[in-house]
Amino acid sequence: MLVEARLAWGSLRERKGRTIGAIVGVFIAFVALTEALALGNAFRSSALNLFEGLGVNNVFVLGSFTDADVALVKTYVAPYATAVVPISSAIASVRLPNGVVEGVTLYGIPSDGIGVIVPESAVYDGSNNVGGGLALVGYFVAFDRNTGAQLLNVGDPLPLNYRGRSYTLAISGILSAQHPGPIDTTTSVILDESQFRAIAGDSTYILIVVSLKSTQYLDEVQNLLKAVYPNAEVLNLQSLVQTVNQFFTGLELFLGIVSGVSTVITALWLYDTMTISVLQRTKEFGILRAVGFKRRQITAMMLYEALIIAAIGIAAGVVALILLSFIPISFFPQTAAFSRASPSLSVPWNIGLATAALVVAVNMLGALAPAIRAGRLNIVDALRYE
């Protein structure tokens, strides 16, 4: 085994031009196939993470609702839900320390349901406490959108203006710009529902979020709420997530097939290279057979050559993939909901191993026929070959 491998290595060194060409082919095929599958997988994972961040166990009821509607929803979904959280909304503005007046979306959320809509993971700094004049502010309210300079800190007063009336709130927390959810976390101010009503004078809700005990209740609760509110828009993300998953699985398959063409081309290139090599080295094989080499040893030597070429090409490809993993990419616009949904060029280890095994297998298959032909050469004819 070691003898055949050593002879294979020596033969490759003698034919540097063809060897380098074959290695480059393997390198391109491995990198192209791996990156195509990795990007498809990353795109799918990012999109799924985006929707899961919105809450796959939540049902969203959009419309115009009163306290009586909220109480009715709670009654109907009580056996299935862990929380029912209504959300109010209005347009207001805040005056920042730099003198800029920033338009914001003012949200009213009951303090006992704030954790469903704004979990601790959505808070960049401070806490998600609201009530008693406390407010959560969006990331680009506390930080300058252009320079990144911090304008407001937790505990600072927040001058709020709504329809010509001024109010002063205290900042309890700053929201993360990278947390998807049913509300905006970039240019928003979130208050307790009672505080919102005191400012906006509005007792209607634009959205009711029903958080379920399990996703198995999604269809049942959605159908129930549609029957109760036929004019409202009742949504859940589970079916959308399934559709997205199927789409990106198909996309991965398509990208894999397209990129796999380069692997087939590389295998054909290796077949051609090995066939020419057999013709050029016919006398060499005859001499090896004459000094005692068996047919299987000649075949093994040729296959070792293909394996070495594939191994070097893949090793170079791994280095290239590591360097590519540092390149930032984005498929989504940089908004609060999409900023964390941007995949990177890093390759999961299972995809890397699978594509490496595939490239090796295809190239070994391409070299198999010439290798067998070399092993079956007649000793006398091979020695006479010029």
Which pLDDT score is estimated for 240? 65
What kind and span of H or E run contains 382?
A: helix 379-384
Query: % helix / strand / coil in the chain, to the nearest 5?
Result: 55, 20, 25
Which pLDDT score is estimated for 176? 87
Which pLDDT score is estimated for 363? 85
Q: Name every residue whose Cβ is closer than 8 Å to that of residue 126 and which is 6 or more positions away in sequence.
A: 136, 154, 171, 172, 173, 174
Tokens of 64: 């115009």
- Quick one: which of 343, 333, 345, 352 has its CA closest to 49? 343
The vertex-241 CA angle with 237 and 245, nearest 5°, equals 175
Which pLDDT score is estimated for 342? 47
Which pLDDT score is estimated for 100? 87
Which pLDDT score is estimated for 291? 82
Predicted model pTM: 0.58
CA pair distance 68, 89, nearest whole angstrom: 18
- Please give the full DSSP string across 61-97, using - where no structure is assigned: EEEEE-HHHHHHHHHHHTTTEEEEEEEEEEEEEEE-T
CA pair distance 165, 362, nearest whole angstrom: 73
pLDDT one digit per residue (tens) for the chain, 386 residues: 677 777 778 777 777 777 888 888 889 888 888 887 877 777 766 666 666 555 678 889 999 999 999 999 999 999 999 999 999 999 999 998 888 899 999 999 999 999 888 888 789 999 999 988 899 999 999 998 888 899 999 999 999 999 999 999 999 999 988 776 788 888 999 999 999 999 998 889 999 999 998 878 888 998 999 999 999 998 877 666 667 667 777 777 777 777 677 778 878 878 887 888 788 778 888 888 888 888 888 888 888 888 998 899 999 999 988 888 776 665 444 443 344 444 556 777 888 888 888 888 888 888 888 888 888 887 777 666 65
Which pLDDT score is estimated for 328? 62
Neighbours of 16 (CB within 10 A): 9
Give the DSSP letter of residue 215. Answer: G
Judge whether 218 and 226 are in contact, CB under 8 Å: no
E strand segments, the chain: 58-65, 81-95, 101-109, 123-126, 134-137, 157-162, 165-175, 188-192, 205-212, 233-236
